[in-house]
Structure 1
Amino acid sequence: MKTLYLVRHAKSSWNDPDIDDFDRPLNKRGKINAPEMAQRMVERGELPNLIISSPAKRARSTAKMMAKNWDYPRQAILLEEELYLCYASTFLKIITKIDDDFEKVAIFAHNPGITDFANYLTETIRIDNIPTAGIFAIQAETDHWKDFDLAKKQFLFFDYPKSRD
């Protein structure tokens, strides 16, 4: 079995219009939501043993904050250039290259690609939008990441900061 956690970066700041999109930092709410969502994963007993992130500052920062809560070494986070504002199909390209030693993988990325990919993965669950710091989890009946696309999948959960408000 392989488990995939799709994590949208936490809320980013728009305070400085001169900052390039790639370099936008997290805002105050994002810095609160990221550790909160990581803690919810701990409570579920759902901890990744590999983290892959878009290199954009807001995604990278979210991954680092969550990794800290998971006791995951921040220096072990893999940055994948192609995840920055990618299409849904790019996720599969990245997933097929994951080493089979990793059972649970978290991928930190952006909308609209991350929501589109989540919807691609299941026929029964449809999500209009993965909110910032939202997590979509699915499990695939396979021992090999290269077979993830065609493997039978089971939806595990969808959680986001305001789901408990």
Structure 2
Amino acid sequence: MTAASLPLQRIFLLRHAQAAWPAPGESDFDRALDDRGRAEASVIAGLIAGKGYLADRVVCSAARRCRETAETVCRAFGRDFPIRIVNELYHGVTDSYLAVIDAETDAATLMIVGHNPTIEELLETLVGSDTAWAVMPGGYPTAGFCVIERNLACETGWALSDFLTP
């Protein structure tokens, strides 16, 4: 990924809120948010909307917990957003997430709703390990949200400008 290849100016990374353990016979993919997760999603949605972090496009893992988190955040803006579901984000590696970013050629601001450890690794890739670990010394929390801005003065071409947690 090169700076010249992307029109993106801002990327939002959102890790899904806390999910319940799978019920007997339920797959990991189908895990829903639990009570704490619904509360986390609601709080982070309010913070995101309160700061006006509106995305041109929302790309989300197909896993239920990610979809529920994305839907909560989109509702906080009081209007419907198309959420593009991308199967490759479920169990995807950093390169899968970077490919999604590269494919978004007509969005200035992109929100990705996904999973750890890949969201954490993607943040490190985009802004550097030192910057990433300075804001998340204990790892990327559930419902954690970061704002990454295009900054060609930075070695990676991106700079972290905000990190929110519920």
Query: Which TM-score bucket, shorter chain as reference?
Result: 0.7 to 0.9
Q: How many angstroms does 1:90 deviate by?
A: 1.2
Aligned to 1:61: 68
Out of 103, 113, 119, the position equivalent to 1:114 is 119
Contact 2:74/2:80 (<8 A) preserved: yes
Deviation track 1:33-76 (CA, whole Å, cap 9, x = no partner) reads 112101111222211121100010000111111110023425x1
Deviation track 1:112-158 (CA, whole Å, cap 9, x = no partner) reads 1111111111124124421111112101148xxxxxxx862121111
* Distance verdict in 2 for CA 1:50–1:71, change over 3 Å: farther
Normalising by the residue count of structure 2, what TM-score does the alignment of the two structures yield?
0.84
Please tell me the residue identity of whatever aligns with 1:132. Answer: T
4+ residue runs over 3 A deviation: none
The number of aligned residues is: 152
Separation of aligned partners in 2, 1:95 and 1:68:
23
Q: Which runs of structure 2 are paired with 1:62-141 in the superposition (5 Å)?
A: 62-74=69-81, 76-100=82-106, 102-123=107-128, 124-125=130-131, 126=133, 127=136, 128-141=138-151
Q: Which runs of structure 2 are paired with 1:4-23 in the superposition (5 Å)?
A: 4-14=11-21, 16-23=23-30
% identical equivalent positions:
28
Uncovered stretches (5+) of structure 1, i.e. residues with no partner: 143-149
Uncovered stretches (5+) of structure 2, i.e. residues with no partner: 1-7
Please tell me the residue identity of whatever aligns with 2:86. Answer: E
Out of 2, 6, 15, the position equivalent to 2:9 is 2
SS in structure 2 at match of 1:96 = helix
Please tell me the residue identity of whatever aligns with 2:84. Answer: L
Normalising by the residue count of structure 1, what TM-score does the alignment of the two structures yield?
0.85
Contact 1:140/1:151 (<8 A) preserved: no
After superposition, the CA RMSD in angstroms is: 1.8
Contact 1:85/1:111 (<8 A) preserved: no
Aligned to 2:3: none
Please tell me the residue identity of whatever aligns with 2:160. Answer: F
Please tell me the residue identity of whatever aligns with 1:11. Answer: Q
Out of 152, 159, 163, the position equivalent to 2:164 is 159
User: Does 1:44 pair with 2:54?
Assistant: no
SS in structure 1 at match of 2:103 = coil
SS in structure 2 at match of 1:48 = coil
Please tell me the residue identity of whatever aligns with 1:98. Answer: E
